[in-house]
Structure 1
Amino acid sequence: MGGGDLKLVLDTSVIIGGRITSLIDAGEYRDSTIIVPEAVVAEIESQANRHRESGYNGLEELGRLREMANLGMIELEFAGKRPGPAQVELARTGEIDAMIRQVALDCSATFMTGDRVQSMIADARGLEVIFLPPEKTEAKATAIEEFFTPDTMSVHLKDGVEPLAKKGSIKDIQLVRIGDTTSTEDELRSMARELIKRTRRDPDSFIEMEYDGATVLQLGNMRIAIASPPFSDGMEITVVRPVAFVSIDDYRMAGELKQRLAGQQRGVLIAGPPGAGKSTFAAGVAEFLQSCNKIVKTMESPRDLSVEDAITQYSPLEGSMEKTADLLLLVRPDYTIYDELRKTTDFQVFADMRLAGVGMVGVVHANRPVDAIQRLIGRVDLGMIPQVVDTVIFIERGEVASVQDIKFTVKVPHGMTESDLARPVIAVTDFESGRAEFEIYTYGEQVVVMPTAKTRETVPSAWGLAAERIRDEFRRKVNGPVKVELSGDNRATLWVNAIDIPEVIGKGGRNIETMEKRLGIHIDVRPLDSTQVSKGKESGKIMVPEISMKNKHIILKSCGVAGTDVEVMVEGELIFTATVGRKGDIRIVKDSDIGDKLQKALRDKLKISIRTLT
């Protein structure tokens, strides 16, 4: 095909895809007049200015067309108007596409496009159209594939750095140097353009996402991330591919897991650290469920699970997983694999679909099984968590390390004793042994995640949290020590120095009543004597404080004991106990019994000392 009379108007897809120069090299369209609309040039220039690899591909293709024109292989012309701000603003509605088609009409030329919508509209407008669909050709190895060996999991290339690769199995991964010379930006850009061209031509591959300075491709079984300035500090290409294709039967506890998954729709989290083999296991689960005559779909971004063709893989619809979920609820799958849960919206979509009755399997990063559950807290109502997720499968080094069962019950939480403390509790148990591992419940406004696998003596009670809060509140109001002991879920006893009791209670009980309402707990106030303060404590070092007098206070100052409970003594005799302030001082009101004793001791030149309680 060709001849001097043939005039071809190219749209953006043909140039970025690199098809036209390949066809000319093969002998087609020789001596033709190739017309490039100015709108196409503007679109390619805009993409390149935004550091998109497709823009650089387009510029390279324009350069090759110019070289062919210089060699007399074609005639190259530019026609039409450059789009203005109004056309750019309406680009998504097809305004620039219309400008490109208009050039073909004005030039009475054949219109060549790789965009099916463009071809159909051009045909309807009466244009002669050549449509170039993605071409399935014998795939040649790309330059980056030369870095891969059978045991290579990923290749990492960066400008100015020697090539690196992760090799081995999931159980034994090693980062090794795979080249002696550093990569250059030109080499990496050439590789990036080659990968994008290959992706555009392969109907089984796709560009997953493209942003300013970042492009993600799915080329066969390889996930390719391309980053360039200003997004990254240098040109970088990372290629990841699976090295193992396993079924669920290859894992520990396969029989129990298969029975659990096939029995009924469940909410499952597959958790583990990055690179542990979560997605590989998820693919095995998907294929097992498919073999059980269940309709299985996936929600992925990017779509890189290696599953059979019968399992449809969905990406965010118009950039939104919520819209994908809306569609899937109409499709009514038995199970959906969600890879992976990262953002709050991901967890909310997962929960909505599970509560709608769809079996859900989610992939989530976590260092411990309970961490996966904790990522739901605050994103899903606490009481709904067991209905959303009832199983956590923890993957570590490519193996099923543990399986947790999540149930909802009403009981007295671990570490508490009185029956009136019973409350709704989420119990996390080990699936194999049935041993309780964690309990999750609310205490006041806090959500408590309490380990239960340890002995009671080593596990702090939730009362400790409440006691600490009460202690902190009253330490701001009194100079002396504060002791708190809870005798129930809503009752506490507070011990303070007798001199501080009026300040704590307030006129007509106003202060203590306000504090009780604020803390949501009844407080009994009792005087504290020295034996109670010293109970369980030993005497520490003795210091002589610096003593100064202010308008209404006597100030005892000591260094290095801020926040410490101390005994204040005169000639070795205990006068009172106190807690040293943050600045290392103890303030005593002059016009008080203790103030009178200290002033008398100063007048009589008696020794005043401080002894810490450790």
Structure 2
Amino acid sequence: MDIVPDTSAVIDGRVSEQVARDGDVGTVLVPEAVVGELESQANEGRETGWDGLAELQELADLADEGEITVEYVGRRPTAAEMSGAGEGDIDAVIRDIAAKHGATLLTSDAVQAEVARAKGLDVEYIEPQTTDVGSLAIEQFFDDSTMSLHLKVGVKPMAKRGDIGDMHYETIREEISTEKQLKEWAHDIEESARRSPDGFVELDQPGMRIIQFRDYRIAVARPPFADGLEITAVRPIVKTELDDYALADELRDRLAERQRGVLISGAPGAGKSTFAQAVAEFLADSDYAVKTMEKPRDLQVGPNITQYTELGGSMENTADSLLMVRPDYTIYDEVRKTSDFRVFADMRMAGVGMIGVVHATRAIDALQRLVGRVELGMIPQVVDTVVYIEAGQVHTVYDVTTEVKVPHGLMQEDLARPVVVISDFETGEPAYEIYTFNRQVVTVPLGEDGEGGRDTGVDRIAKQEIEREIKSVARGRVQVELQGQNLAVVYVEEGDISYVIGKGGGRINEIEDRLGIDIDVRTFSEKPGGPGGDGGGGRDGGGGQDAGRIVTPEVTSRHVIVPLEGHEGETVEVRAGGDYLFTATVSRGGEVQVSRGSAIAEELEEAIDRGQQITVAPQ
């Protein structure tokens, strides 16, 4: 019996296995298309390619021993066929060869088998082998306190060990790992995932393969993606229930009351995913249909919670499918990119309860990552609760609402606007406000940071805005001192007094009305301490801050554009020559646009014309 193996049968080693089992195999007709596909996979660093080439070598050895006859037939696949391998182009070439030679097609691919039978070919379908694999070789490095293992060629084995929130990165063996050892461990991991029903390949890209095996999430990185062969294995070290956390009763009531939008934030290793698992289990036990969206899938949840990953390489597709499934709550682990936040917001606005896991070093940072990605007024509808995890415990919980009010620190009633209020969930005290101030989205800390009205976020913003407004009409240096929540003293050069005040005080009155602050204009000679005072003329917005990233703005017919790719959604300060100009939120397109003709644009253009260095720093 002559056989034509396809790529799946060669990769799985089923051809030599067939020879050993039956012994009556005639000629093995290996399509050149199979060789081309295996060579391509090996060149991309995929283990499947190397496994297939090893099987071809095994067939060559059997041919040398006279056990079988091996012939390579057909043609090399074209570049178009190689690029369309996932669409079945290579499989079609292999079927044509089997038909031409009247041979039996040997495959472990169920789709290939069904198509070949439909075309009238003789087919032998061999089910992919799955066995109950024991332990992995790398499990020797794990103990009860090990959360992650880090192996790399030329480096001593390292591990993170300890309790949640108190992890230590430490050497666990003095012997340096060799390339041979890591190749053996990587092969053991990948073969175990292939043969065991408890394992699967989550991601397979050139240079990187991510495998889920039982409760281990394992990443195998190879050159050229990495500078050396590396294996990183992570597993959960504890499973918790919601009752194990502070504010458990209050959070239970809040989550069970109705579908909500929740961000679980914290630093890496703080215990965010562990808390998310506890929440998921609680919701599932509270008669809610719960699903997860993960890439890779590593939450340790019960079988009643279905775990979804990217569909067709896109979480947007996963979201579309989930809306048909109609879950009550979806756990989104992890929300990082702009597209993730958009999917999260879209599902939340569709009425699905959403719980997202976000990396953040402060609770407020998680919410600020929505700024620029979601319309400001929509934020409380998308996220109404923020839970910050630190050292494995609930550290802070924020309640997020919207009010139409005068922002904290401003006095004029006509300055009322929609304000996103972030309050401490336990005490009900406001902690932050987010609102639009003079066309800029600002986040202002309240509470302890705002006591006494000195050096608070609103003070800093007010000083910056006053200075910018006065600087737009003054020709010399400007210095601002706040005397209270609604009073400021501005010092300018003697010759600028008339320009700043304007005829009959019209110009300064206009600025006061716009900012809602009374402004007393004085000369530097009137400043306590004499002319120049204690550092007169220094820009309040730039002193003692990070020098920031140097940028080159582009001046178009309508805008001055500051490029800030990689900072989408962040709030930044723009400076010229170290002096503060303005604060803005970076758009989804990775830039800040300032309309030409505005005071900000004119000041920025003047700085560019003077050759001043334009820098941008996170706020």
Same fold, TM-score > 0.5, yes or no: yes
Q: What is the correspondence of 1:320-469 to structure 2 with a 5 Å cutoff?
A: 320-454=314-448, 455-460=451-456, 462=458, 464-469=460-465
Number of the residue aligned with 2:175: 181
Equivalents in 1 of 2:170, 2:24: separation in Å? 48
The counterpart of 2:204, out of the listed 190, 197, 210, is 210
Q: Offset at 1:336?
A: 0.7
The counterpart of 1:482, out of the listed 455, 478, 482, is 478
Give the residue type in structure 1 aligned to 2:6. D
Equivalents in 2 of 1:251, 1:477: separation in Å? 56
Equivalents in 2 of 1:169, 1:190: separation in Å? 30
Give the residue type in structure 2 aligned to 1:465. I
Q: What is the correspondence of 1:484-563 to structure 2 with a 5 Å cutoff?
A: 484=480, 496-501=492-497, 528-529=522-523, 532-534=526-528, 563=538
Describe the shift of the 1:527–1:344 C-alpha distance in structure 2 as closer, same or farther (beyond 3 A). closer
Number of the residue aligned with 2:3: 8
> Structure 1 residues 402-411 or 57-66, which shifts more?
57-66
Equivalents in 1 of 2:389, 2:108: separation in Å? 44
Describe the shift of the 1:57–1:441 C-alpha distance in structure 2 as closer, same or farther (beyond 3 A). same
Describe the shift of the 1:96–1:523 C-alpha distance in structure 2 as closer, same or farther (beyond 3 A). same
Q: 2:43 aligned with 1:49, yes or no? A: yes
The counterpart of 1:240, out of the listed 234, 254, 257, is 234
Q: Deviations over 1:371-427 (max 9, x none)?
A: 110111111111111111111111122222222111111233222334333322212
Equivalents in 2 of 1:317, 1:535: separation in Å? 68
Give the residue type in structure 2 aligned to 1:330. M
Maintained 8 Å contact 2:409/2:485: no
The counterpart of 1:100, out of the listed 83, 94, 101, is 94
Q: Which SS does the other structure have where 1:322 is aligned?
A: helix
Give the residue type in structure 2 aligned to 1:126. G
Describe the shift of the 1:192–1:456 C-alpha distance in structure 2 as closer, same or farther (beyond 3 A). same
Equivalents in 1 of 2:434, 2:118: separation in Å? 64
Q: 2:250 aligned with 1:256, yes or no? A: yes
Q: What is the correspondence of 1:129-278 to structure 2 with a 5 Å cutoff?
A: 129-278=123-272
Describe the shift of the 1:564–1:183 C-alpha distance in structure 2 as closer, same or farther (beyond 3 A). closer
Q: Offset at 1:449?
A: 1.4
Equivalents in 1 of 2:523, 2:24: separation in Å? 105
Equivalents in 2 of 1:386, 1:34: separation in Å? 65
Describe the shift of the 1:525–1:364 C-alpha distance in structure 2 as closer, same or farther (beyond 3 A). closer
Q: What is the correspondence of 1:85-96 to structure 2 with a 5 Å cutoff?
A: 85-96=79-90
Give the residue type in structure 1 aligned to 2:464. E
Maintained 8 Å contact 1:290/1:311: yes
Describe the shift of the 1:61–1:397 C-alpha distance in structure 2 as closer, same or farther (beyond 3 A). farther
Equivalents in 2 of 1:492, 1:209: separation in Å? 59
Maintained 8 Å contact 1:490/1:521: no
Q: Deviations over 1:327-382 (max 9, x none)?
A: 11111111111111010010011011001100111111111111110111111111
Equivalents in 1 of 2:369, 2:306: separation in Å? 28
Describe the shift of the 1:52–1:83 C-alpha distance in structure 2 as closer, same or farther (beyond 3 A). same
Q: Offset at 1:137?
A: 1.4
Equivalents in 1 of 2:299, 2:237: separation in Å? 12
Give the residue type in structure 2 aligned to 1:499. G
Aligned length: 541
Describe the shift of the 1:194–1:8 C-alpha distance in structure 2 as closer, same or farther (beyond 3 A). farther
Q: Deviations over 1:299-332 (max 9, x none)?
A: 1111111112221111111111111111111111
Q: Deviations over 1:46-80 (max 9, x none)?
A: 11112223222222332333334334444433222
Q: Deviations over 1:275-301 (max 9, x none)?
A: 112112212211221111211111111
Equivalents in 1 of 2:160, 2:517: separation in Å? 61
Give the residue type in structure 1 aligned to 2:278. G
Number of the residue aligned with 2:72: 78
Equivalents in 2 of 1:396, 1:525: separation in Å? 44
- Percent identity of the aligned residues? 49
TM-score where L is the length of structure 2: 0.79
Q: What is the correspondence of 1:597-608 to structure 2 with a 5 Å cutoff?
A: none
Equivalents in 1 of 2:398, 2:275: separation in Å? 16
Give the residue type in structure 2 aligned to 1:319. G
Give the residue type in structure 1 aligned to 2:12. G
> Structure 1 residues 410-419 or 34-43, which shifts more?
410-419
Q: Offset at 1:486?
A: 8.2
Maintained 8 Å contact 1:496/1:525: no
Number of the residue aligned with 2:591: none
TM-score where L is the length of structure 1: 0.79
Describe the shift of the 1:181–1:476 C-alpha distance in structure 2 as closer, same or farther (beyond 3 A). same
Equivalents in 2 of 1:59, 1:203: separation in Å? 25
Maintained 8 Å contact 1:17/1:197: no
- Alignment RMSD (CA, Å): 3.5
Describe the shift of the 1:342–1:135 C-alpha distance in structure 2 as closer, same or farther (beyond 3 A). same
Number of the residue aligned with 1:545: none
Maintained 8 Å contact 1:494/1:524: no
Number of the residue aligned with 1:17: 12
Maintained 8 Å contact 2:410/2:486: no
Q: Offset at 1:482?
A: 3.0
Give the residue type in structure 2 aligned to 1:184. T
Equivalents in 1 of 2:341, 2:533: separation in Å? 53
Number of the residue aligned with 1:113: 107
Number of the residue aligned with 1:310: 304
Which structure has the greater CA radius of gyration? 1
Long gaps (5+) in structure 2: 541-575, 579-619
Equivalents in 1 of 2:330, 2:274: separation in Å? 15
Q: Which SS does the other structure have where 1:528 is aligned?
A: strand
Q: Which SS does the other structure have where 1:307 is aligned?
A: coil
Give the residue type in structure 2 aligned to 1:8. I
Equivalents in 1 of 2:281, 2:271: separation in Å? 16
Q: Which SS does the other structure have where 1:534 is aligned?
A: coil
Equivalents in 2 of 1:536, 1:299: separation in Å? 64
Maintained 8 Å contact 1:415/1:459: no
Maintained 8 Å contact 2:497/2:522: no
Equivalents in 2 of 1:324, 1:527: separation in Å? 59
Maintained 8 Å contact 1:158/1:237: yes
Q: Deviations over 1:175-216 (max 9, x none)?
A: 232333222223323332332222222334222112221111
Equivalents in 1 of 2:171, 2:489: separation in Å? 65
Describe the shift of the 1:255–1:30 C-alpha distance in structure 2 as closer, same or farther (beyond 3 A). farther
Q: 2:54 aligned with 1:60, yes or no? A: yes
Maintained 8 Å contact 2:12/2:128: no
Q: Which SS does the other structure have where 2:159 is aligned?
A: strand
Describe the shift of the 1:66–1:198 C-alpha distance in structure 2 as closer, same or farther (beyond 3 A). farther
Long gaps (5+) in structure 1: 1-5, 542-560, 566-580, 584-614
Equivalents in 1 of 2:577, 2:332: separation in Å? 51
Q: Which SS does the other structure have where 2:253 is aligned?
A: helix
Number of the residue aligned with 2:606: none
Equivalents in 2 of 1:284, 1:527: separation in Å? 59
